[in-house]
Chains A and B, each alone.
Chain A
Amino acid sequence: GAVVSQHPSRVICKSGTSVKIECRSLDFQATTMFWYRQFPKKSLMLMATSNEGSKATYEQGVEKDKFLINHASLTLSTLTVTSAHPEDSSFYICSAFRTLQPEAFFGQGTRLTVV
């Protein structure tokens, strides 16, 4: 099946710093990628839809200035958590649909811890 790779898998950063998470589609082109946030023992909450070459679409309640999304190519989307605070600590996962296939392919996830 299609492969989506996410990096880094774990990151620890200090409060006030920014962290960039990369999501790559390795064997297909993804015009659209999705970013989710998952709290412990909770469901995947869609944060935003990343569209190649245009602005991301954010879900209600998600701060677009805090969670910067860039989808500069058909195989790469990045999520930057700016001025991170401990409450931003979470598991972030990206996913992508492959053209003509209905299933979503997920990255490995990134465990962000802000200290």
Chain B
Amino acid sequence: GENVEQHPSTLSVQEGDSAVIKCTYSDSASNYFPWYKQELGKRPQLIIDIRSNVGEKKDQRIAVTLNKTAKHFSLHITETQPEDSAVYFCAARTREGSNYKLTFGKGTLLTVNP
């Protein structure tokens, strides 16, 4: 099955700096890669996603890049703010039979220091 590796596990930056989180996946059939932000005790919230036919996508301060050949994708947050502090998960979606399945990375705890 799919295996998603995520690095780093923790990341601390100063407010205004950029943050980069990287993920790799193993199944070349994976075709959709979402990123989720999860605050303590709350549900994961989709912040950006990218499909396998696109190399880069940007939404204001957040961008995601995908390298299908190397099977890795990255989340970039620019001009970080304290409210960006949370756990971020990458995921890869594969199809198993008639169902889709999401496999998550282990998460990155991002701390933005004021």
Contact = CB atoms under 8 A, between A and B. Distances in A.
Interface residues of B, number: 23
For chain A, give the interface size range: 20 to 34
B102 A104 contact: yes
Contact of B43 (A51, A57, A107): A107
A26 interface: no
Nearest to B43: A106
A34 interface: yes
Contacts of B100: 32, 97, 102
Contacts of B103: 46
A111 B41 contact: yes
Interface of B: 32, 34, 41-46, 49, 51, 87, 89, 93, 99-107, 109
3 closest Cβ pairs, A-B complex: A106-B43, A102-B32, A43-B106
Interface of A: 32, 34, 41-44, 46, 49, 51, 57, 91, 93, 95, 97, 102-104, 106-109, 111
